[in-house]
Structure 1
Amino acid sequence: MSSTAPHRLPLSSLPLLVTLVATGCSHTPAGPREVAAAYARALEENRLADAQALTTAPAEERTAFQEHYADASVRQARVAEVRAAVPELQARAPALTLLQTKEGWRVIEEKQGDAPRETLGRFLGAVEAGDWTTAWSLLSDPLRARYTPERLREDFKREPLATERVRRARLALKTGQVKVTATEAELPVGKDGAVQLVREAGEYRVASIE
């Protein structure tokens, strides 16, 4: 009987084979749950380069990332935090938020008024905290074009009624009704005033506080 020679791979196939063996089953996780799980596992196993690769942190921040998570207790705390958050994962985009539930991903249909209230609350909180960059970012497009964070701060300092307007807007946020249309939202302030917000690219922005 003639013996059958063993099948040999051509030499040209070896680099590809080595690559496949080296990478094994590793791949970039596809979904939010998988990314979060892989990130937590990499931290838990002290594979900090792999963990950072699953974040949006740029390469130049690698040293800072590794120094932060060099402490095992810091890694463990972050791992616990991430894993606890996985069941309530959300995916967000302008005018759209999805929540992961037992039945799968579901669109969160917000009550009318929730989104403009949230924007106004963030704006008032930023003003009260003196965070003018955040306050400026929550203004409508025409106001952002007219102002800078510094000029916004100066205008609030110079305007005698600014503090009173913020106080009244905060009160309206707590007790007032929100009138919502397809493109605008309005909260009455006192008898004649109103806080007006406009919808831009799916997000509400503050247009005026009168």
Structure 2
Amino acid sequence: MKPSRRLLLLLAVTTGCATPKGPSVAAEAYARALEEDRLSDAYALTTGLPEGEQGFRDRYKDATARRERAASVRAVVGELEARAPNLIVERRQDAWRVVETRPSDEAKAVLTRFLNAVDARDWEKAWSLLSAPQRSRYTPDRFRDDFQREPLARERVRRARLALRGNVKVTNSDAAFPLGADRAVRLVLEEGEYRVAAIE
């Protein structure tokens, strides 16, 4: 997900708005504060950075960077999405609409994207779909190297694809695709989105 969409998504979830006014207004206020070099006001409208407000100020000390960020935020205001476990809400024609999908469909879509990325050797994409503990353990290059060195890696990917055809066990925190013998492909929910935690 693009940074601008992630910011708007988090704003939508944390403000709990029922109409497009809330996140749209917050996004516009954020963009305007950046353009006007009111970085404290802009930072107050974010979920923060690990490096704090000073890191934010360093990121946007250049007027060009501020203008580009403001433009990128405004460009996606009409595509706002809010997510929570088992719920997606999208902005459609100036109103919020519940996306009627089943959690199992979302989990299948994420696992399919992950497996397709692995097959295409798009290690950056595959790594981005891993769970947070796995992403902290790997870099995209290390993930590639470990995958290529692991003799059973291709077989695990093949079995994961077969598991997509079966039933999915969904809870409020994860989704499991059984492989038999107490093994499963497992996805976990992180910030309302499924991520691959294990493929065996």
Runs of 5+ consecutive residues of structure 2 not aligned to the other structure: 1-14
Q: How does 1:40-189 map to 2 (within 5 A)?
A: 40-58=31-49, 61-110=52-101, 113-121=104-112, 123-124=114-115, 125=117, 129=123, 135-137=130-132, 149=137, 160-166=151-157, 168=158, 172=162, 177=165, 179-180=167-168, 186=177
Q: Which runs of 4+ in 1 moved over 6 A?
A: 130-134, 155-158, 198-203
Give yes or no for contact 2:131–2:196 (8 Å, CA) kept in 1: no
How far did residue 132 of structure 1 move? 7.1
- Report the equivalent of 1:35: 26
Q: Which has the higher contact order (CA 8 A, sep 6+)?
A: 2
**Structure 1 residues 69 and 115, CA, compared in 2 at 3 Å: closer, same or farther?**
same
Give yes or no for contact 2:131–2:197 (8 Å, CA) kept in 1: no
How far did residue 177 of structure 1 move? 3.8
Structure showing greater radius of gyration is 1
Q: CA RMSD in A?
A: 4.3
Runs of 5+ consecutive residues of structure 1 not aligned to the other structure: 1-27, 140-147, 189-193
Give yes or no for contact 2:110–2:129 (8 Å, CA) kept in 1: no
TM-score (normalised: structure 1): 0.56
The percentage of counterpart residues that share the same residue type is 44
TM-score (normalised: structure 2): 0.58
